Amino acid sequence: MSYVLAIDGGGTKTNVVCADTNGTIFGSGISGPTNLTSTSVGAASFSLREAIRQATEQFPVDTQITHAAMGLAGMDSSADYDLAYSTLNAVLEQFAVENFILVNDAVIALENGSDAPQAIVLISGTGSNCYGKNAIGQTANAGGADYLLADQGSGYAIGRQVLREAVKSFDGRTERSILEQLVCEHFSIASICDLKSKVYSPPLPKNEIAQLSKLCTTASEQQDVVAQRILNKAVIDLLNHIVAVTTRLQIADTAFDCVLSGSVVELPEIKEPLIAQLQKKYSQIRVVFPNKPPVHGALKLALQAQAAKDLS
């Protein structure tokens, strides 16, 4: 019997499912990041290998895997694609995968959330990205250029600002913020004076900085105005991603789906004001929160490829 692999490779974790050609899932795996802009080739290869091993460990050795479809974060140029394909395909060959489909993670998130002819997806997790298509097949994206060039409104951007505002609070360069105390507790330090070594020696990984966004929501719930400003700025930044894509696709005045995906857009402090802004700006928008994880978008692509092969 033939099987397919579906893979969602992110900056924090990698999810894999293995299914038969009817879409019935028989195995799953989860491991570390495979985003090659923030993860070494060796670490990304290990993460993918481990997640696939978990997903297929109950299968016979001679199991045939005809297609693997992967959505990968941080893949935004032809050079990114070439490096990712050669690196990750080498891992898939170890499992005798016959065909490999590699796309940006925004593509599988969109496939997972909507079948509409006009749709966009906004992803905000560790990083941020927006991608969309219109009825005549044009596509556009905004963001996705990783943490030095983009990632506004992401968990990383929020977490980085948490660190900066904690230092500013300690210095007296802004009003006193609860973030100062929360950061000290998070790193088990007595004072912000001790923060530098925690951040720089060794450098704090991007995904760990993104986790600090949780401190921002905690402080916001306690009516901390500094934390509230950070979150309000994130909402504006995420909205700007959507405005850019809808403008380039010329769909702002038409019906379209807007899929919201990722841990940050699920935060009430982000989700509620963002939806309000979207509904105010776009009269025919349908906001969608997928009820399945993005890896199911990759599964959809793998099954479509398998079906096309069966017909040929």
Residue 181: pLDDT above 90? yes
What pLDDT is attached to residue 103?
97
| String of DSSP letters for 72-109 | ETT--SHHHHHHHHHHHHHHHHTTT--EEEEEEHHHHH
The CATH class of 2-105+293-311 is alpha beta
What is the band of 11 on the pLDDT scale with cuts at 50, 70, 90? Answer: confident
Q: What integer is the mean pLDDT of 40-53?
A: 98
Which residues make up the CATH 3.30.420.40 domain(s) of the chain?
2-105+293-311, 110-149+232-288
The CATH class of 110-149+232-288 is alpha beta
Helix, coil or strand: residue 71: strand
Higher pLDDT, 60 or 10: 10
Handedness of CA 210, 213, 214, 215 (dihedral sign): positive
Helix, coil or strand: residue 242: helix
The string of pLDDT tens digits covering residues 76-133 is 889 999 999 999 999 999 999 999 999 999 999 999 999 999 999 999 998 999 999 9
What is the band of 146 on the pLDDT scale with cuts at 50, 70, 90? Answer: confident
Residue 56: pLDDT above 90? yes
Residue 279: pLDDT above 80? yes
Q: Mean pLDDT over all residues of the chain?
A: 96
Cβ burial of 51 (10 Å; 0-12, 13-18, 19+) is buried
The string of pLDDT tens digits covering residues 76-87 is 889 999 999 999
- Pair of tokens at residue 133: 């298509």
Question: Closest Cα partner for 2 from 22, 30, 32, 28?
Answer: 22
Residue 304: pLDDT above 90? yes
What pLDDT is attached to residue 171?
98
The pairing of beta strand 128-133 with beta strand 119-124: antiparallel
What pLDDT is attached to residue 266?
96
What pLDDT is attached to residue 298?
99
The string of pLDDT tens digits covering residues 198-221 is 999 999 999 899 999 999 999 999
What is the band of 12 on the pLDDT scale with cuts at 50, 70, 90? Answer: confident
Q: What integer is the mean pLDDT of 246-261?
A: 98
